[in-house]
């Protein structure tokens, strides 16, 4: 992410790939989503050191019984006072309900994929604001969006993160089979490469569709994306639901800020495709071809070491708080179901 070799990326390219720039034009091709303006106080909270989650109403009712212990945590430590985002919490709650109860969160460009280790179940599936904030606050990708979104742009000197209207994007949660996600590289309006999105795994089923996949994706591109997306050089991610049935997942800039997966940026930049290019689709062909997971470094997080050594006890408290909220929610859903059954 930090190595920027290509000279051609500019700030307007990065803006064109931000979620709210493209969503309204491609709404019918992608997952239902809501875009919420991120209040400045929530942005500051995400950038502040330490994790102290806001108290949600449903948590307070169970937490009030242990006031003494809470006081102990708070003694002489103003910074651990939980913030309150009453209005924002209500807006988020409404959006989550409208999207079916569970969502995938991201900001203008990135999702907190590097922070999924902090979530129970290791997923980005969220049902409430605290889960969302815990993920966002634990993610380097989110910090990058908030502080250095134009790092790789040759004209970044004229822009900073201050010129960005930050947004929280909530997308309806969808169970996606990782084997069916693909990244498509478009240069001068033409597809120059397609890669298996999760290149850290071998998926035997890809062999069966490899021959027809480029044609299917080219068809999807020419019908729905070419000429409609504002850039000539870009990258888009898709999900194959069935033969000739694709879901658009995301747009990314054509350059080092975007992972080139089974290609290299150098070859993507110099590639000439004449329509008969056999090598347009790359996937892992055998178990031995699997590359190490680039997010491996995030798996043994220093935060866990902090928790273990007791240098950041608040984080453990918040970790457990989110779990308590989740269990309370599950119990109340179970009660509702029991009521119906009775
Ligand atoms: N609505 C969703 N529900 C479940 N998983 C999702 C959803 N949207 C994206 N994902 C998963 O998260 C990955 C990253 O999503 P993406 O929006 O491209 O984030 P980023 O731009 O940070 O990579 C996707 O490849 C997909 O596996
Ligand atoms: Mg993306």
Q: What is the CATH number of the domain that holds 201?
A: 3.30.470
Residues 167 and 313 in one domain: yes
Q: How far is the CA of 341 from the centre of ligand 1 (A)?
A: 36
Check residue 60 and give its pLDDT. Answer: 43
For residues 94 and 152, membership in a common domain is answered with yes
Q: Does residue 166 sit in the same domain as residue 113?
A: yes
Query: What is the predicted pLDDT for the residue at 59?
Result: 45
Answer whether residue 65 is part of any domain: yes
**CB count in 10 Å sphere of residue 270:** 10
One domain, residues 242 and 185: yes
Same domain membership, residue 45 and residue 118: yes
The two structure tokens encoding residue 195: 């890669």
Q: pLDDT value at position 137?
A: 94
Q: Do residue 279 and residue 310 come from a single domain? A: no
Q: How far apart are CA 114 and CA 301, in angstroms?
A: 10
**DSSP three-state, residue 261:** coil
Tell me: do 282 and 182 sit in the same domain. Answer: yes
Say how far apart CA 12 and CA 325 lie, in whole Å.
Answer: 41
Least confident of 160-164, 300-304, 315-319: 300-304
Residues 182 and 66 in one domain: no
List the shell of residues around ion ligand 2, using CB closer than 5 Å. 250, 252
- Same domain, yes or no: 335 and 237: no
- Which residue range is the domain that position 41 belongs to? 32-173+300-339
Summarize the confidence of residues 175-193 as an average pLDDT: 97
Number of domain units in the chain = 2
Interhelix angle 302-309/313-341, rounded to 10 degrees, is 100
Judgement on whether residues 214 and 132 belong to the same structural domain of the protein: no
User: Is the predicted pLDDT of residue 88 greater than 90, yes or no?
Assistant: yes
Judge whether 14 lies within some domain: no
Q: Ligand 1 centre from 144 Cα, in Å? A: 17
pTM (two decimals): 0.82
Atom 15 in ligand 1: which residue has the minimum CA distance?
111
Q: Are residues 168 and 182 in the same domain?
A: no
Does one domain contain both 265 and 233?
yes
Distance CA(8)–CA(254), nearest Å, equals 9
């Amino acid at each position: 992410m930090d190595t920027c070799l290509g000279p051609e990326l500019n700030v307007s390219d990065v803006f064109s790939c931000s979620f709210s720039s493209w969503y309204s034009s491609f709404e019918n091709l992608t997952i239902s989503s809501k875009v919420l303006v991120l209040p400045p106080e929530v942005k500051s909270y995400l950038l502040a050191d330490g994790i102290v989650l806001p108290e949600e109403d449903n948590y307070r009712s169970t937490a009030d019984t242990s006031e003494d212990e809470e006081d102990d945590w708070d003694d002489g430590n103003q910074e651990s006072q939980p913030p309150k985002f009453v209005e924002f919490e209500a807006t988020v709650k409404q959006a989550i309900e409208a999207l079916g109860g569970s969502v995938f969160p991201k900001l203008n460009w990135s999702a907190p994929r590097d922070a999924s280790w902090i979530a129970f179940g290791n997923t980005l599936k969220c049902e409430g604001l605290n889960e969302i904030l815990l993920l966002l606050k634990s993610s380097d990708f989110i910090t990058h969006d908030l502080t250095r979104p134009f790092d790789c742009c040759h004209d970044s000197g004229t822009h900073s993160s201050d010129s960005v209207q930050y947004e929280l994007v909530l997308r309806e949660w969808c169970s996606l089979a990782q084997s069916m996600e693909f990244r498509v590289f478009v240069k001068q309006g033409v597809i120059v490469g397609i890669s298996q999105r999760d290149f850290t795994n071998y998926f035997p089923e890809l062999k069966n569709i490899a021959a027809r996949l480029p044609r299917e994706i080219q068809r999807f591109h020419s019908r729905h994306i070419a000429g409609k997306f504002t850039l000539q050089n870009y990258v888009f991610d898709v999900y194959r639901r069935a033969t000739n049935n694709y879901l658009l997942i995301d747009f990314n800039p054509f350059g080092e800020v975007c992972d080139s997966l089974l290609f290299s940026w150098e070859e993507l930049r110099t590639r000439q495709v004449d329509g008969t290019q056999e090598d347009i689709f790359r996937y892992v062909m055998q178990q031995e071809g699997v590359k190490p997971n680039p997010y491996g470094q995030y798996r043994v997080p220093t935060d866990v070491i902090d928790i273990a050594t007791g240098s950041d006890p608040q984080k453990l408290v918040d970790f457990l708080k989110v779990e308590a909220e989740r269990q309370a929610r599950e119990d109340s859903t179970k009660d509702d179901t029991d009521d119906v059954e009775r």
